[in-house]
């Protein structure tokens, strides 16, 4: 049985996934812009709804891709003499996967989790800026600048990344150089933040900290 057309369809579906991911990235940046511009919470919530809709589409595509891949794998293993009805088999598998859907699935989408985490940081930064008016300005600036300093380079970060495991941030290039160096030595990387107990920092655990980057850029403009 030839699966050339199936492979082509899978490739197209995976391209659609990349478009969904791009859409989620755009919605995330728009939400950040809205918070930064002190816009109405309703506008920000509309972006969250967009994220959930995209997460639902991503889940559906994932299930369809999985249904195709598992069906094809089974057919290749069984090698039936008569060509089976691939469309019906895929539909059956897809329906079974979709029947297990729950709203909590969408909130576990990696990009949605990033969206919520960064939105929280953006709002926190905004609230901190409001609090500056109520305390000594020099102290506020000093505290803010301390958050902007990379624990590795001891310099202000330009491209901060956040560790999803322990929550600490570092300059992207600096932490990646350490990870690469330790990898060659076959050693684990301890979080460079003083006092942190996390002893296995991995590149896959690092995500861009857009909220912090915007805060740094905003203060530098001032």
Spans of all domains in the chain: 3-128, 160-220
| Distances in whole angstroms, Cα of residue 158 to Cα of each of 131, 167, 171, 184, 222 | 25, 18, 7, 26, 16
| Alpha carbon 10 to chain centroid, angstroms | 23
pLDDT for 4: 81
State the fold for domain 160-220. Herpes Virus-1 (3.30.40)
Residue 94, pLDDT > 70, answer yes
Residue 127, pLDDT > 80, answer no
Question: Which DSSP state fits 149?
Answer: B
Q: What is the pLDDT of residues 9-62, one digit of tens each?
A: 899 999 999 999 999 999 999 998 888 887 667 888 899 999 999 999 999 999
Of 106 and 81, the structure prediction assigns the larger pLDDT to 106
Among 198, 142, 152, 147, CA closest to 177: 152
Task: Please provide the average confidence, as pLDDT, over all residues in the chain.
Answer: 87
Residue 132, pLDDT > 50, answer no
Sign of the CA dihedral running 197, 199, 203, 204: negative
């Amino acid at each position: 049985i030839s699966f050339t057309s199936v492979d082509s369809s899978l490739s197209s579906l995976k391209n659609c996934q990349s478009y969904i991911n791009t859409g989620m990235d755009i919605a995330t940046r728009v939400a950040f812009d809205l918070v930064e511009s002190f816009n109405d919470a309703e506008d920000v919530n509309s972006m969250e709804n967009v994220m959930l809709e995209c997460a639902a589409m991503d889940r559906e595509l994932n299930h369809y891709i999985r249904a195709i891949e598992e069906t094809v794998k089974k057919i290749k293993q069984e090698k039936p003499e008569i060509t089976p009805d691939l469309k019906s088999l895929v539909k059956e598998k897809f329906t079974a996967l979709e029947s297990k859907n729950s709203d909590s699935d969408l909130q576990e989408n990696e990009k949605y989790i990033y969206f919520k985490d960064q939105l929280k940081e953006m709002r926190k930064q905004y609230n901190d800026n409001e609090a500056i008016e109520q305390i000594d300005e020099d102290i506020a600036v000093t505290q803010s600048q301390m958050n902007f300093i990379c624990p590795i380079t001891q310099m202000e970060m330009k491209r901060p990344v956040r560790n999803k495991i322990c929550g600490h941030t570092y300059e992207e290039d600096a932490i990646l150089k350490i990870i690469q160096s330790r990898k060659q030595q076959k050693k684990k990387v301890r979080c460079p933040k003083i006092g942190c107990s996390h002893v296995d920092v991995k590149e896959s655990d690092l995500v861009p900290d857009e909220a912090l980057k915007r805060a740094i850029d905003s203060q530098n403009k001032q």
